[in-house]
Amino acid sequence: MKSSEEISEIKEAIKRIALENAIKHEGKAQVKPVLGRLLGERPNLRAKIKEIASLTGEIVKEINHLTLKQQIETARKLWPELLLKEKEKVEEEKKLPPLPNVEKYEQIVTRFAPNPDCVLHIGSARAIILSHEYARMYNGRFILRFEDTDPRIKRTALEFYDLIREDLKWLGCTWDEEYIQSDRMEIYYKYARELLEKGHAYICTCRREEFKEKVQRKQPCPCRSIPPEQNLSRWEDMLSGEYGEGEAVLRIKTDLNHPNPAIRDWPAFRIIDTEKHPHPRTGSRYRVWPLFAFANGIDDHLNGITHIIRGKEHLTNQKRQEFLYRYLGWKYPEAIHYGRLKITGVTLSKSKILQAVEEGVYSGWDDPRLATFRALRRRGIRPEAIRQMMIDVGPRPADITLSWKNLYAYNRKIVDPIANRYFFIDEPKRMIIKKVNRDFTASLPLHPDDPKRGRRIFNIKSRDGEAHLLISSRDFNRLREGSLVRLMELFNVEVISKKEGCISAEFHSEGYEEARRLNLPLIHWLPDSEGISCEVFMPDGSVVKGLVERNLHQASVDQVVQFERFGFVRIDEIKESVKTFFTHE
Ligand SMILES: [Zn+2]
């Protein structure tokens, strides 16, 4: 056997490794990795593996009994370097990879350019957060640009300008400048004329199918060779209403041999009958509207965007816009194209969301079944969680799939230390406990890691030797005759009989030690005299009804709290009754 000095030294080493492991894993160390590390550091201990393993088991248990906060305090006292490492790692994870060619620009300018045809949802989070974060990282500017030049199909509506601004503010992505494309029509017209004059564009009056057929065969349509003067007069006719919808488009000349037919002489302006489809901001003032690739390309240059951060589905647009930039003598901004980000179980189709909200399938933009920022906000998802997740995903070009669970893990890290705990009894059932011969007082912390926040006190009266409690129907269904169960922080009971929504039970013992010895399940409860009626709106559209403890009156609207053994919820309304939205488990 080793000397006691050696043993205490080994114990110290195990404690250090276990603490580091526990802090890394939200307060719970695992024996296996701790043992592995120890044997890695001290291979000679392999000879005594059995003893060492049981010693490690004991120490890990001790460490896990501490709260995360206590673990961190202990580490800070004994091995501050453990925390340093952890901190450095966290900061390292937060950082985005550098942008290319930063040194070429005086100031980095990025943008987010939504179409105000819907509220924003999680599918836009990456473009917004990366663009904003890069601008901040380089002390640059972040621009918000509303791209609202399609009054017919991607129909803009006035309400969305403000809703989008609110979404961005909630995300913490404030912008330094704002542009609205429908204010800039004369600018686009000016460049249209310039391109026509220089022979880089033409007005095509062919039927769409005819043009398409020709261009597929890499052949020009007859309009391509008309002289600039005639093009300019056709342009004026477009503006003045000589042509109807679909009768004329302005096309940018490209390479008719370009391998991608979608690039060949792409359309930059078309006519929209704004008498029929008025624009919400400009009414029927304009009939000739730029298409996305044109207005977006022009503005990126005029807004001084240095770095465009967007999905790779925009690569075709870049190819289109490069012709434009060449003709105008401009340099194309740095463009970073990230891969597809799929989020499983989420409806991200704007048209589907719009339709369903309009038809009343969803209660509004913040219906908990939606993945709009407004819905996430109402459910208690914190913007920092979304932000951190997107920064970790970064601008990588590979496709990636995330799920709700990933987002919940980020959010849990943020809300768990903040959320106070309460008892919520969903679909309450009665439990009458006999042989309760005195009154009891149960006291539970508002937060297990932070005793300073105070405690919740319950007084349980003995009425003729009986205590009357409520338990959740989930627990009710699990309990059988003869089951022993511990009522959290109160006492242990035995189920005697069960009928018609009521359990008869008997006092068994008081102490937690006894419950631990017998390995009893712990359930939560409420005195039957106590309880505010409470609804929880679930992400699947269902509503769970129950009672929540009276102490919840100390909480306030908008707080995220944890209903013990149920999940985190955001408080939406506290009146006579309480309304909450389910966040996650
Ligand atoms: Zn033509």
Summarize pLDDT for 470-503 with one digit per residue, the tens.
Answer: 999 999 999 999 999 999 999 999 999 998 889 9
pLDDT tens digits for range 494-532 = 999 998 889 999 999 999 999 999 999 999 999 998 899
Whole-angstrom CA distances from 322 to 114, 218, 263, 318, 331 are 21, 20, 10, 6, 9
What CA–CA distance (Å, rounded) separates 337 from 318?
Answer: 10
Which class for 565: exposed (0-12), middle (13-18), buried (19 or more C-beta within 10 A)?
middle
Q: Rounded mean pLDDT of the chain? A: 93
Cα(221) to centroid of ligand 1, in Å?
A: 5
CA of 6 to the centre of ligand 1 (A): 90
- Provide the sign of the torsion angle of the four alpha carbons 341, 115, 356, 383, taken in this order: positive
Q: How far is the CA of 225 from the centre of ligand 1 (A)?
A: 9
With a cut of 50, say whether residue 1 has pLDDT above it.
no
Q: Which helix (H) or strand (E) holds 486?
A: strand 484-487
Dist. CA 183 → ligand 1 center (Å): 29
pLDDT of residue 348: 77
What does the alpha-carbon distance between residue 128 and residue 144 come to, in Å, rounded to a whole number? 9
CA distance 328 to 352: 39
Ligand 1: distance of its center to the CA of 215 in Å?
10
Ligand 1 centre from 431 Cα, in Å?
82
Taking Cα atoms as reference points, which of 195, 193, 294, 205 lies closest to residue 243?
205
Torsion of CA 30, 36, 39, 45, to 10 degrees: 60
The CA 264 to ligand 1 mean position distance, Å, reads: 13
From the CA of 214, how far away is ligand 1's center (Å)?
9
**From the CA of 195, how far away is ligand 1's center (Å)?**
17
464 alpha carbon to ligand 1 midpoint, in Å? 95
Q: Over the stretch 419-430, which tens digit does the pLDDT of each residue have?
A: 999 999 999 999
Query: Has residue 563 got a pLDDT over 90?
Result: yes
- Rounded-to-integer distance, Cα 201 and Cα 562, Å: 62
For residue 297, report the distance from its CA to the centre of ligand 1, in Å.
23
Residue 401, amino acid: T
Confidence check: pLDDT of 97 > 70: yes
Model pTM score? 0.81
The count of residues in the chain is: 585
How close is the Cα of 248 to the center of ligand 1, in Å?
8
Provide the token pair at 542.
């269902």
pLDDT tens, position by position, 25-67: 888 999 999 998 898 888 888 888 898 999 999 999 999 999 8
Average pLDDT over residues 110-119: 96
Using a pLDDT cut of 90, give the percent of the chain over it. Answer: 83
Q: What are phi and psi of 359, to 5 degrees?
A: -80, -5
Would you say residue 206 has pLDDT above 50?
yes
